[in-house]
Amino acid sequence: MDQKIALVTGASRGLGFSVALGLAPEYHVIALARTSGALEALDDRIREKGGSATLAPIDLTKKDAVAGICRAIHDRWGRIDLLVHAAIHAAPLSPVAHSADKELARSLEHNVMATQTVITMVAPLLGEAGTAVFFDDPRAGKPFFGHYGATKAAQVALARSWQAESARLGPRVLVHTPAEMPTATRARFYPGQDAAKLASPADEAAKVLALLSA
């Protein structure tokens, strides 16, 4: 296949959805998320643009599932050209002293361990010529953002270490801080916030696409 291949996690909604849609039809999009219905909606939109997608409704915390997807990609295409890691778990806001251990465990599993799994298994598919994109969030250390902020910061730390390690030989690793958007994740943090005052995921996706061509 001459068409470029992009693997997008968290592709069922928000920024992941918009980036996946924006990549078509230049890229064949391999879309990963836990909800198959939302992925099917993405597939419909991509097809309307004349693009194509492969849908993979999996849980990134399941190493065997991630390994299976990566093996299938290798067997079919032998590579990917782009990874966009938009998947995130948003723990409920809570004072650190009163936060539930199970929520911290879930946050670590989804935001840190799953990111390590994705990097480890996708790096060989990217090779030296590919590009990986991660998203930063400045709310680490803010009141009530303990579990989310700590694990999101750890996720970004993994990405930045990989970025430094790959600077000379590749792959290219980008870390982007998007503007505040009316996503489902943000709605959990700020219910009732006026969405009109926030950036649209489509506009923020356009910024990501511009980064790729820079």
Give yes or no for a contact between 33 and 9, defined as CB atoms under 8 angstroms apart: yes
190 is catalytic: no
Signed CA dihedral, 86, 50, 182, 187: sign only: negative
Select which of 148, 154, 182, 212 is catalytic.
148
Please state the length of the chain. Answer: 214
Catalytic positions, written as ranges: 148
